[in-house]
Amino acid sequence: MPEIGVIGAGVMGVGVAQNLAQCGFDVVLVDRDEEVLANARAAIARNCRMSALMGGPALDADAVLARITTAQGADAVAKSEIVIENITENWEAKRALHAELDQVCGPEVVIIANTSAIPITRIASVGAHPERVVGVHFMNPVPAKPVVELIPGVHTAPDTVRRTRELLEAMGKRAVEAKDASGFISNRVLMLTVNEAAFLVYEGVATAEAVDEVFRGCFGHPMGPLETADLIGVDTILYSVEVLYEHFADSKYRPCPLLKQMTDAGLHGRKSGRGFYTYN
């Protein structure tokens, strides 16, 4: 199987790297911070040990980690046939990284942008080969979610889409194709829901617990919108809503001030130990 480069060792990058490795791919997991990479390996080992207990397949953590090499710097993916970028949902950071990838990767390399809201055509415009850039919106936790959104940009080549579909199928994913518009399918709806749920708490209409209980009990959702925000990352939710607001210039996407305050305070959800809820 081809070597896959995975850039960004946060929650999404960890999930993507684990999913690839447990499906037999060799992975280069890249981040700027050595401590982040060490934490990523620990998280993958923990996830593998917990997999069967959570209803997933029984996984050999050592075998999965043996397929994952960690490295610092984007040049580590120069030999990868496909690169999946998973960094924070911030346009300036995305632009800088994709400009670097355009120099590091040969024109035959498929570059997948794992983004929840930024248009793929905008990301592809950074480099000299927009035909090899495509969007895939993976869901969290990546190994457990069977469906992804596949988003070709205006210039994405059919062969890029074909190769991406083949990779996703090998990862056990079913790709649902969407046209290139900010937020695509899931986050065009989900981010509005989470943002409005945050407004309910901000305005004192209801507690986070009450909001989530209504969604679980009345609508049958396994998780309420604010539990979901903590899982995704409150900061990631804010950045995604800001992208929607910027792209559509529509007041319905205005970010809730509570999301901004929580992000500034470091209350990012599960990954920081506290968000709308407190975690051990």
Residue 100 belongs to domain with CATH number: 3.40.50.720
pLDDT of residue 52: 85
pLDDT of residue 140: 87
**Domain shared by 207 and 163, yes or no:** no
Annotated ligand binding at 252? The verdict is: no
Q: Domain for residue 114, yes or no?
A: yes
pLDDT of residue 280: 81
pLDDT tens digits for 105-136? 999 999 999 998 999 999 999 999 999 999 99
**Domain shared by 147 and 66, yes or no:** yes
pLDDT tens digits for 216-237? 999 999 999 999 999 999 999 9
Arithmetic mean of pLDDT over the chain: 96
**Domain shared by 167 and 212, yes or no:** no
Annotated ligand binding at 140? The verdict is: yes
**Domain shared by 168 and 228, yes or no:** no
Annotated ligand binding at 227? The verdict is: no
**Domain shared by 165 and 243, yes or no:** no
**Domain shared by 225 and 112, yes or no:** no
Assess whether pLDDT exceeds 80 at residue 1. Answer: no
**Domain shared by 168 and 225, yes or no:** no
pLDDT tens digits for 140-196? 899 999 999 999 999 999 999 999 999 999 999 999 999 999 999 999 999 999 999
Assess whether pLDDT exceeds 80 at residue 202. Answer: yes
**Domain shared by 192 and 243, yes or no:** yes
pLDDT of residue 54: 82
Annotated ligand binding at 126? The verdict is: no
Annotated ligand binding at 13? The verdict is: yes
Annotated ligand binding at 79? The verdict is: no
Annotated ligand binding at 196? The verdict is: no
CATH number at residue 201: 1.10.1040.50
Q: Give, for 180, the enclosing helix (H) or strand (E).
A: none
In the chain, pLDDT over 70 holds for what percent of residues? 100
pLDDT tens digits for 79-108? 999 999 999 889 999 999 999 999 999 999
pLDDT of residue 233: 93
pLDDT of residue 4: 98
Q: Domain for residue 27, yes or no?
A: yes
**Domain shared by 239 and 128, yes or no:** no
Q: What is the DSSP string of 90-140?
A: -HHHHHHHHHHHHHHS-TTSEEEE--SSS-HHHHHTTSS-GGGEEEEEPPS
State the helix-helix crossing angle for 34-51 and 11-22, rounded to 10 degrees.
Answer: 50
Annotated ligand binding at 94? The verdict is: yes
Range of the structural domain that residue 238 is part of: 188-264
Annotated ligand binding at 172? The verdict is: no
State the helix-helix crossing angle for 208-219 and 225-232, rounded to 10 degrees.
Answer: 110
Annotated ligand binding at 31? The verdict is: yes
Do residues 175 and 200 make contact, with C-beta atoms less than 8 angstroms apart? no
Assess whether pLDDT exceeds 90 at residue 242. Answer: yes
**Domain shared by 148 and 249, yes or no:** no
**Domain shared by 201 and 67, yes or no:** no
